[in-house]
Amino acid sequence: MHDDRASVDEVEVEVEEAGSGVSRRGFAATTLAVGFAAAVQPVSAQTITTDAQGLDAGVVEIPTADGKIPGYRALPTGAGPFPVVLVVQEIFGVHEHIKDICRRLAKLGYYAIAPELYFRQGDVSQTKDFREIIGKVVSKVPDAQVMSDLDAAVALAKGSKGDVSKLAITGFCWGGRIVWLYSAHNPDLKAGVAWYGRVVGDKDDLHPKNPIDVAADLKAPVLGLYGEADAGIPVASLDQLREAAKAGKTEVEIHVYPGAPHAFNADYRPSYRKAEAENGWRRLLDWFQKHGVAPKA
């Protein structure tokens, strides 16, 4: 039987090549999707669920230059301050998986915050068709807007128990690409970890650069985690990225998991690979610690 969800891997990595143009959205509400996005239903039985015991976790309003956007935040209940990790969504927005990633980090002593970076362009949580998600919403999200909104999330964290002198970022697929861009954008960032985000591709006015274009200008060290069997991200493009990064002054490490598909960390999807995901998570934590972004013992 054909699983329609299997095609999402190829669709997701086409997002940077979709059309341009911006449709503004009013700032009438600051809510997030409840549960998992409609496009990924039904979720897998192996889905990881992290409780919020001992955490301050929930929806927050993030002030930006042109209004408030919603986000999900999780941090320990103690006095802090706590090192800050920006968590950047896949194409499905800040749904339950991204919230769970925040809680996992908070359980380890981090202040994790995931802004809803599509808020102005539209809500993708109830859209079942992947191409509609990309064509109508995701492709219309300007990179400049994303950089500014991530800066706004950092500002919120700074004023609420976040130690932004210890600032990191991680993201998945669409968010993986954003990790590279933000690591070239924010000079205060200490570390980035990108999970299977496209590194080359077409450009347009809203998306003028790809990771390979900024690889020599990174202001923070970046670890990239990729699957060898990811049809949308050829290993050859990762080799190109490694070569481009040699012209820069920051550390770049790209790890490719043999035989792993796209979205191998997405435990709620058929693409999940437990061993590779757990190894990637350990690498993420080691990378943060190596570059000075670790909670107090």
Question: Which domains are delineated in the chain?
Answer: 4-290 (3.40.50.1820)
Residue of 100, 262, 267, 291 with catalytic role: 262
d(CA 82, CA 107): 11
d(CA 15, CA 5): 16
**CB contact set of 177 (below 8 Å; sequence gap of 6+):** 16, 171, 194, 197, 198, 199, 210, 211
Average pLDDT, the chain: 88
Residue of 173, 207, 267, 291 with catalytic role: 173
Residue of 100, 230, 267, 291 with catalytic role: 230
Instruction: Mark whether 188 is an active-site residue.
Output: no
- 43-78 pLDDT, tens digit per residue, is 677 899 999 999 999 999 999 989 999 999 999 999
- 179-194 pLDDT, tens digit per residue, is 999 999 999 999 999 9
What count of other Cβ atoms lies within 10 Å of the Cβ of residue 58? 11
Instruction: Mark whether 230 is an active-site residue.
Output: yes
User: What is the pTM for the complete model shown?
Assistant: 0.90
Instruction: Mark whether 173 is an active-site residue.
Output: yes
